[in-house]
Amino acid sequence: MTLSSPTTFRSEKARLRAEALLRRADMGAERRAAASDAAARHALMALGSVAGRTVALFAPFRDEIDTGPLARKLRDAGARLALPVVIGRDRPLIFRLWDENDLLEPAGAYGIPTPGAQAPQVTPDDLMVPLAVFDRAGARIGYGAGFYDRTLALLRREKPIRAFGLAFACQETDHVPAEPHDEPLDGMVTEAGVLFLGGSDADSLSR
């Protein structure tokens, strides 16, 4: 399929997003919980030694993959955790430190749990990135606001970072149409395993 205009790109991305989110919703709560636990184990393997590193997670929204199991594993492994904070519609995200006993505050139009302004702002070393759709080339489709594309572009200009998508295997598609501003992932983690991209690590994500 040839995508020749921004409008066509947006239309195709919207179609792929809607289809993947329907597949995700059809999983059901029990299957999502089991898959979240499995993905957490794979994510810890993908990240390797995290002692002393700052890892940015995300608070799950609706039927997104649950990051709670991974948060517990990362804390046990000595990582500092952070969560994203939206500071403006067309601006990059910032990240605030998330201690285990911190009270998270609903923020934004969707009331997503977020650390309060008293939590220190940090720059992550590793990010687990939410998404709606992904492919095996490392392309992703988010939810349409472009927050992570802007954020990853900024962070990658500042220092070396790693960004792994974290989602369910049913959110994979054959091909995501990429645009110039789209920031690729370094790897993809699902309950099926880990797909490493752009490096020497073997592809270990099963179909």
Binding residue ranges for ATP: 13-17, 140-148
Q: How far is CA 1 from CA 4, 8, 11, in A?
A: 10, 11, 13
Residues facing residue 154 across a β-bridge: none
Element (H or E) spanning 17, and its range? helix 6-25
Residues flagged as binding site for substrate: 64
CB 202 within 8 A of CB 45: no
User: How far is residue 126 from each of residues 48, 95, 96, 170, measured CA to CA in Å?
Assistant: 11, 12, 14, 24
Q: How buried is 97 (Cβ within 10 angstroms: 0-12 exposed, 13-18 middle, 19+ buried)? A: middle
Which residues carry a binding-site annotation?
Answer: 13-17, 64, 140-148
CA nearest to 14, candidates 173, 183, 180: 173
Residue 203 in tokens: 């592809």
